[in-house]
Amino acid sequence: MRNILKRSVKTVFAVVAGSVLIITAGAALGAADGSLSNHPELSQQEMLTPCADCHREATPEIEKQWYASVHGIAMVKCYQCHGTFETFKVTPSREDCATCHADMLDKCPTDKSCWECHVPHMFKERK
């Protein structure tokens, strides 16, 4: 019984901590509409710089999670999920994920976002 309680507390803590991280990162990077209107202005040259070059310092926890994830190992770039600087979305949609994972979406609930079951940037199933 104690193990179940400990595991439940750890799970709740992980979900809350993950949610706070996502909200904080979203607030820091994107506006309420999910755009980059809060992002510092970049020159055309800076827009060609990989996001991770700056975000390694600006949002190190997210960059570390991505780097250790299946997407990081496969070198999937930020824009492939989040869009380009002009089309950026803080939270990719199910349709964005379906671009590469259409076969997996058939097995997922249709009434939930991917992030309700999977930890963003780590791509592990929530237990």
Q: Is the pLDDT of residue 23 over 70?
A: no
- Mean pLDDT across the chain: 77
Burial-class residue 62 by CB neighbours within 10 Å (0-12, 13-18, 19+).
buried
Residue 27: pLDDT band with limits 50, 70, 90: very low
Hey, what amino acid is at 51?
A: C
What value does the mean pLDDT take over residues 84-98? 89
Mean pLDDT along residues 4-10: 53
Structure tokens at 61: 């926890």
Report the Cα–Cα distance between both ends of the chain, in Å, rounded: 18
35 versus 102: which is more confidently predicted? 102
Per-residue pLDDT at 35: 67
Q: Tens digits of per-residue pLDDT, 92-120?
A: 999 999 999 999 888 899 898 888 888 88
Distance CA 32, CA 52 (A): 22
